[in-house]
Amino acid sequence: MLQWKWLLFLIILVVVLIFLTIYLLIKRHRGHGYFLSKFSAFTRIRFSGLEKRRQTYCPANNKCQCHLKGSAAHIEPNLLCTHRSPTLYMSFAGAAMVVGGVRTTEWRGSMREIHRDTNDEFDALFFTDPAQCFYLQDPDYQWEGLTYYRNLIKLYGTLYQRVILIGASLGGSMVCMCADLATVSIAFNPILDPVLLGLHWRIMGAFCPARQAEVVRNQVHNTMEKINTNKNDHNCVLHIHWSQLSKADQRQAHGVIGGGKHSKPIQTECLTSVLDFDIDNANMSTSSGVHIWFHRSKEHILAMQLKRTNQLIPMLKRHLTATSIGLNTISHILDEKQRQDLVIINISL
């Protein structure tokens, strides 16, 4: 009888400890929805609290009140808004595990740094994926995420002079899937084939059914091929940054650059250049093509490492010089006109 009591006590103790651990983990992640998003991803149960974080719109002009609060879950730009900047950043947040919670404004600090001391203003749209599934779930959870986000980028592309896509890990996947619609796209450690993710990543970081993984693979290939073969009606460039010494990144990269354990073929039709990272390389600031950069890093969180070593902002600035091409052209035209005027003056003299 006494033994049973002890057993019961032990069971209760274990249950209490489990709940306490979960509670502490949730607290540690500052209630940013990490566990809730995982739960939602696996059960397909939707939580309005998470859905409201799908989009955060940050216009440079603080007079802009055009986006209603409710538009965060079902994203619809206000077409009548007159406060837009020339540039729009669209940030796709990565897996919550890496950043400790569902971050609503990933990359915001870096964007501000890039534009500090310039009068080049920008608006920003920050996306999170409440389903934590490579943005493949639309707000109605019908696996129409790809069409949904591509349509959004197309629409915003008509409202801005330049659209810049940026994202890491599973956020980087959507960047690579939509890069043909933007001006400049930058992806850090993107997952181009979710099937190749290690089991712990699949359980903890990024859940994706096999059928949907195929959607990612096919779209990435189509997008990269389209950019590389210049099938766009506008200039656009995709930069992919991978950690050369990370096993997870190597697996992803082999699918494009070839090689690896299964001696995969190189996807030449998708690649413009594959190089070791060199900030002075001319391809860093080009306005077209698909460029893969390998960094001497072991970690999957490359952007964080680059930030810590003060390399991130100079690198992003180099990529974004391609976006100021329009502005350069205007000053070039002015220079040209002044030169012609000078010639005319000389002749008349």
For tokens 């195929």, what's the residue? 214
CA 56 to chain centre: 14
**3-state class (DSSP) for residue 279:** coil
For tokens 């980087």, what's the residue? 172
Compare residues 85 and 228 and give the one whose CB is closer to Zn ion: 85
Length of the chain: 349
Task: Report the interface residues with Zn ion, using CB under 5 A.
Answer: 64, 66, 81, 83
Burial annotation 141-167 (CB, 10 A radius, 16+ → b, else e): bebebbebbbebbeebbeebebbbbbb
Compare residues 66 and 325 and give the one whose CB is closer to Zn ion: 66
Compare residues 60 and 195 and give the one whose CB is closer to Zn ion: 60
Q: At what angle do helices 34-43 and 2-28 cross, to 10 degrees?
A: 110
Compare residues 125 and 271 and give the one whose CB is closer to Zn ion: 125
| Contact status, residue 83 vs residue 61, Cβ threshold 8 Å | yes
Phi, psi of 82 (to 5 degrees): -115, 15
Compare residues 80 and 349 and give the one whose CB is closer to Zn ion: 80
Closest by CA to 192, choosing from 240, 227, 229, 146, is 240
Min. distance of Cβ 155 from Zn ion in angstroms? 15
